[in-house]
Chains A and B, each alone.
Chain A
């Protein structure tokens, strides 16, 4: 079956630090990969996506590259801000399947 493994949190960084949140997956076939973000008190929202190997998804300064050889989709940002404090979820979707599989989430806190 499908599964997504994220690095354990919580992660605390200073403003302007470099961010990496690791995500690896197990899936049959060629899934599409996503990062969702959940700001305090809100529902999840799609941050970025990549639909095939070597694709790079990007949005709001965040990037993630779909690496088929390492089954990974790590989230990166060069300089984080306090407003990036949130919980980040890695997820996958197999072609022909409507159900997203989520990782457990990584809580990120940025301190000024």
Chain B
């Protein structure tokens, strides 16, 4: 039981390049989330998916797109990376509904945009 897995662990991009961060969970959870973590800012929600086939914007969605490929997988895409997107990105999942508070986090992806 791997929990929440994320790839890659580290990535360096040049401004304007694109990339997709992958996330998968094996807990049969309904809801999945993408956060970014910046010093002094805590965690901020980028996008979330309450169920397969649905996605909603969080606090900081600009510059990102997401795909809930199936119940297990939730990817985050940067179409044209900017230095302001340098951050640590976390994927999380939960059962959803009344148990949305109990989120399980992946180990994170450290992204640097130069």
Q: Which of B44, B92, B103 gathers the greatest number of chain A CB atoms within 10 Å?
A: B103
Q: Report, as a range, how many residues of chain A touch the other chain.
A: 20 to 34
B114 → chain A closest CB, angstroms: 23
**Assembled-state Cα–Cα distance A89/B45 (Å):** 14
Q: Do B48 and A43 touch across chains, with their CB atoms under 8 A apart?
A: no
Q: Given A98-B48, A99-B58: A43 and B108 within 8 A (CB)? A: yes
Q: Do A102 and B31 touch across chains, with their CB atoms under 8 A apart?
A: no
For the complex, count residues of B whose C-beta is within 8 A of A.
Answer: 25
Q: Given A45-B105, A46-B103: A103 and B58 within 8 A (CB)? A: no
- Checking A42, A43, A44, A49 against B101 with a beta-carbon cut-off of 8 angstroms, the contacting residue is A49
Q: Given A93-B101, A98-B96, A104-B41: A43 and B4 within 8 A (CB)? A: yes
A61 contact set on B, CB distance < 8 A: none
**Assembled-state Cα–Cα distance A102/B46 (Å):** 13
**Assembled-state Cα–Cα distance A36/B90 (Å):** 14
B residues with a Cβ closer than 8 A to A are 4, 31, 40-45, 48, 50, 58, 90, 92, 94, 96-97, 100-108
